[in-house]
């Protein structure tokens, strides 16, 4: 992770799905990574989502339609689904000229603050938002 970050890459990772402290699990605790915890459709903590001070932002992680085998789709839940949303925002931020080493800070600054319930106080209450107005 540190090598990728040093080379100017933006790395987005899921916080993990054990309901525990994300800092104790790799790659969630890795310096330089954008670590994403998961929320429900009602803006609450997805109970299986890891949490804690190593989390950077929160994203939708419940009942997300995703690719399935062949040409099918499946509904999935978890922090990987939330991380995919954050990766999309990271790509958008990069496309607007933000340097890679500032993407994490930009994502955090765009996030909606104090919009989610159920995370411990160590977890930043910052729900993903891309900041683009139509």
Distance of CA 96 to the CA centre of its chain: 19
Beta bridge pairs of residue 58? 37, 127
**Which is more confidently placed, 8 or 80?**
80
CATH for the stretch 2-122: 3.40.50.200
What's residue 7's pLDDT? 85
Angle, in degrees to the nearest 10, between helices 79-95 and 103-110: 110
Structure confidence at residue 133 as a pLDDT band (50, 70, 90) = low
- How far apart, in whole angstroms, are the C-alpha atoms of residue 77 and residue 92? 23
pLDDT of residue 84: 98
Question: How many percent of the chain have pLDDT more than 70?
Answer: 99
b/e 74-105 (16+ beta carbons within 10 angstroms → b): eebbbbbbbbbbbbebbebbeeeebebeebbe
Q: Mean pLDDT, to the nearest integer, of 116-129?
A: 98
Phi, psi of 92 (to 5 degrees): -65, -45
Task: Over range 36-43, report the average pLDDT.
Answer: 98
Token pair listed for 105: 């800070």
């Amino acid at each position: 992770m540190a090598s990728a970050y040093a080379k100017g890459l933006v790395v987005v990772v899921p916080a993990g799905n054990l309901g525990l402290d994300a800092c104790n699990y790799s790659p969630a605790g890795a310096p330089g990574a954008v670590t994403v915890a998961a929320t429900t459709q009602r803006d609450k903590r997805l109970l299986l989502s890891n949490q804690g001070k190593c989390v950077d932002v929160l994203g939708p992680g419940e009942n997300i339609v995703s690719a399935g085998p062949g040409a099918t789709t499946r509904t999935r839940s978890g922090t990987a689904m939330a991380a995919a949303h954050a990766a999309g925002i990271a790509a958008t931020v990069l496309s607007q000229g933000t340097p890679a080493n500032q993407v994490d800070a930009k994502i955090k600054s765009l996030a909606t603050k104090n919009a989610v319930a159920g995370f411990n106080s160590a977890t930043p209450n910052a729900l993903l938002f891309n900041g683009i107005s139509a």
